[in-house]
Structure 1
């Protein structure tokens, strides 16, 4: 990347809590943005609510939490030295290893000194008189900065169900995404798990091993496919390391930035036997192959998706001994791959165990939490522990929880009340000097690949601003409206946009988020980068710079 001369970092010349840039969040995005800001010599501060780095991998400590992207494809790609040093132990690393990796990166590049932990941001208000942001954390401390960058994470605002009596339960109670640092034992206990999304699936697999009784409360079954995890030997790690350049190129060339790319054939044009053999191979291969590496019309054509869904349904019936339970685990309101696909290890076999029971809350809705457990419309349950794996207020939820106000004091939540509007997924009109990494309308897919690109693009803009003595960067309303219309028009043919999920902005646990809207970029990442690159190559003429 092109370097420019910037003012050296001189503590003697700095005002207390006054910075060129404040970054909110010290997860994958915040760590990488800190690396780029340090490289540029800017005065910056990273504010993090947790007591350490990691973001998703700091908060989600529940048993079974792990990658479902290949560890090596999820790693940072910016440093050859880092790639040469770090050895992954599993193809799909567990949370402790991932958190160790992110701490290693932070310390290797000496980024911790510019980070402030236990500092949850309460508000961020734009001051029009000096084109600066005032950022306040919960203890009342305030920070001023020229540029504000959010690195909040797309899935970082956990939600709880709206049940009566939530605070009445006298046993142990946990939220999957706010898991304690101390070990939690399930041995010999009667445990309830509410939710069967990705977190729920991973938790259920672990809890079922030792719990006296596990009762799973399911609202929407998900199509799950095998993870096929395995250890990485020393020799295999060396081979993977030698192949990093080609692997990262493959990620960059694929629509979702994964190592898997769509098959160019149309589903129904492939003979039945050949089609079944292809799916069998993908089903038995590690990772997202069946989702991200399927026929190119598998998630567009209803006919194609129906035969694919039937294939996966047959797998579930083969693995679950009780036919009635198997049918409850097969989704009926969406086809395979139209919602986030959880990867699993013997998840379906769990329901063959005598200590596991599945409750369909569509048939028996949960009425309330009681002092001793849960009450449904047909039964009262007693538990020693309740685990809520009830998902996230995706993409916009983490912004909603901060009082962000732009020009004329307009709240961001008000500006987005009918769904997010952005320019490039980075800017919001009326919010100058405010930039987002991994927010709405930015291409992500395999998150670190999208994060690295977004951070590098923002860093390039900041370099340009330094060269030109620019102190105010704003997106015109016309540019935002044009980009938002473009994003809303993307993926209209995708079956995923026709169902309720966090990917279409629906969360029934959050007031006002029961209607579908476009909260993410549904096109290929290659096209997203092309459009952003065009803006940069034109010296950012689509932005208001002054």
Structure 2
């Protein structure tokens, strides 16, 4: 990687131009911090730019999965649906970038390859894939928690003579699947959203299921005439309630449904008739809507059996219905919204391939070969998940104090950080939604706004008080990890049978540790504010 020209200097560099990066740029500019955003793609949008697969949609209501810092933006933008699909979210972020004139400070097609901290200069040198160099005292990593897809490693993939597609880089022009034999590998959140849409187009769809998923049936609808105007008129109250809600989504969302379950009666004390009535009246939601599932693994297993009974009421083929029942604890993975997922398996042109019974041996030139036989396909779609939370920074050569390599620290110690905002040994490097923050367990936008505002205030404080560095103390980091780990210790979130991107169990070789903060955004905000008010306790200022 050849270096090209003299480095360009700024007060701060932001990595990424998705939701977090755009707000970080705006906030830092308001504070008088000369900032440059480095974005590897050719446009704004982050995750919502590249994950444009059919059916891609948010699981939080649009009026809450949006910025709250600008009343002008939330009044001017017009959402069309209760829960926005990918094209609408991408359009929204482009609107924000134009409305705030952000593009002039964003370098597109600029992929960061390395970041090195210079202790003597108290500054970071950031080097791109093409050899460009940027120097700044502060770096804000807004590189996303679900921005690095896991590439499947299946023998023979390169020899497939049909079309190979990846949900994380779906062609912008779309793909016509009409009349084609399609295989989808993966049934996580992406697969559950994608499969019903593909099934309506394909001549035949084979779903290759590695791990069955729990889903939450959902109704997404266009706003009725006047409905959005009424919500906008009440935005003050909506945002106030959102700020006080543990998951940052006071209205209906996949997360708020889970939270509401905690107040429900326990499953273990329910009679058989009460259990069956819940399933008759509420389907799969009735199987899961009990208060003891999060803390009692036996109750959780009972719910899984009840869930299987609910699925069997929808899916006509008993063998398929049985294969669609998850084996991991409910809630140990991110909840998935479902729009006709199970009904899709009643279609004559859809076949479920249970990889627990017949693992994939190889991709062949004509399709996929499992232990049970060959499946001829024209198109293979890989929906195989993400290296969450730490993946983006682990793929950059990030070297902190004394040359410490961040990916080695996380490989050795697990995904550690202090507050999800900094990692000890990496001064002046801020992470938006890093491990140990509320991010993955909350409304991402509500959580990121708090992070960006805290980081902006911190940089302003340092500059105003003559400090050139801020670094998380190892002791504070260890105490924070101990605290976040203790919060989930009594729950099914850390049960050994759960391999989730929440705990890194979906990535071969990644050290397992639950990576979110489950105490809720209000409590997290209180702790962060308290730390700042105490002169940034737990950090060393230089």
Superposition TM-score, scaled by structure 2 size: 0.92
State the distance in 2 between where 1:256 and 1:432 align: 30
Select 1:469's aligned residue among 456, 461, 466: 466
**Residues 300-449 of structure 1: matches in 2 within 5 Å?**
300-331=295-326, 333-417=327-411, 418-444=413-439, 445-449=442-446
Moved more, 184-193 or 533-542: 533-542
Matched, 1:237 2:234: no
State the distance in 2 between where 1:247 and 1:309 align: 35
Check 1:280–1:16 CA distance in 2 against 1; reply closer, same or farther (3 A cut): farther
- Counterpart of 1:454 in structure 2 is 451
CA contact (8 A) 1:152 1:438 kept: no
Residues 446-502 of structure 1 deviation map (CA, whole Å, 9 limit, x = unaligned): 100100001111111011112102111111211112112222222111112112111
CA contact (8 A) 1:419 1:519 kept: no
CA contact (8 A) 2:304 2:325 kept: no
Name structure 2 gaps, 5 residues minimum: 1-5, 251-255
Cα displacement (A) at 1:280: 7.6
- Counterpart of 1:11 in structure 2 is none
Cα displacement (A) at 1:64: 0.7
Check 1:290–1:430 CA distance in 2 against 1; reply closer, same or farther (3 A cut): farther
Moved more, 24-33 or 156-165: 156-165
State the distance in 1 between where 2:275 and 2:310 align: 15
**Residues 146-295 of structure 1: matches in 2 within 5 Å?**
146-259=137-250, 260=256, 261-262=259-260, 264-268=263-267
CA contact (8 A) 2:284 2:311 kept: no
Matched, 1:480 2:477: yes
For the residue of structure 2 that corresponds to 1:225, the secondary structure is strand
Select 2:294's aligned residue among 295, 299, 316: 299
For the residue of structure 1 that corresponds to 2:161, the secondary structure is coil
- Counterpart of 2:525 in structure 1 is 529
For the residue of structure 2 that corresponds to 1:221, the secondary structure is coil
For the residue of structure 2 that corresponds to 1:368, the secondary structure is strand
Residues 290-329 of structure 1 deviation map (CA, whole Å, 9 limit, x = unaligned): 98xx555331123443454444333311110101100100
Report the number of matched residues. 523
Check 1:280–1:25 CA distance in 2 against 1; reply closer, same or farther (3 A cut): farther
Cα displacement (A) at 1:282: 7.1
CA contact (8 A) 1:89 1:233 kept: no
Cα displacement (A) at 1:265: 4.6
Check 1:299–1:211 CA distance in 2 against 1; reply closer, same or farther (3 A cut): same
State the distance in 2 between where 1:144 and 1:454 align: 23
Check 1:16–1:412 CA distance in 2 against 1; reply closer, same or farther (3 A cut): closer
For the residue of structure 1 that corresponds to 2:126, the secondary structure is strand
Matched, 1:104 2:95: yes
Cα displacement (A) at 1:246: 2.5
RMSD: 2.2
CA contact (8 A) 2:182 2:204 kept: yes
- Counterpart of 1:79 in structure 2 is 70
Q: Which runs of 4+ in 1 moved over 6 A?
A: 273-285
Check 1:283–1:456 CA distance in 2 against 1; reply closer, same or farther (3 A cut): farther
Moved more, 376-385 or 245-254: 245-254
State the distance in 2 between where 1:79 and 1:476 align: 34
Name structure 1 gaps, 5 residues minimum: 1-14
For the residue of structure 1 that corresponds to 2:502, the secondary structure is helix
State the distance in 1 between where 2:374 and 2:475 align: 56
CA contact (8 A) 2:162 2:379 kept: yes
**Residues 57-136 of structure 1: matches in 2 within 5 Å?**
57-136=48-127
Select 1:518's aligned residue among 514, 520, 530: 514
Residues 163-213 of structure 1 deviation map (CA, whole Å, 9 limit, x = unaligned): 111211121111111111121011010111000001111111111001011
Cα displacement (A) at 1:540: 1.0
CA contact (8 A) 1:205 1:347 kept: yes
CA contact (8 A) 1:90 1:231 kept: yes
Cα displacement (A) at 1:412: 0.1
Check 1:323–1:275 CA distance in 2 against 1; reply closer, same or farther (3 A cut): closer
State the distance in 2 between where 1:370 and 1:205 align: 25
For the residue of structure 2 that corresponds to 1:72, the secondary structure is coil
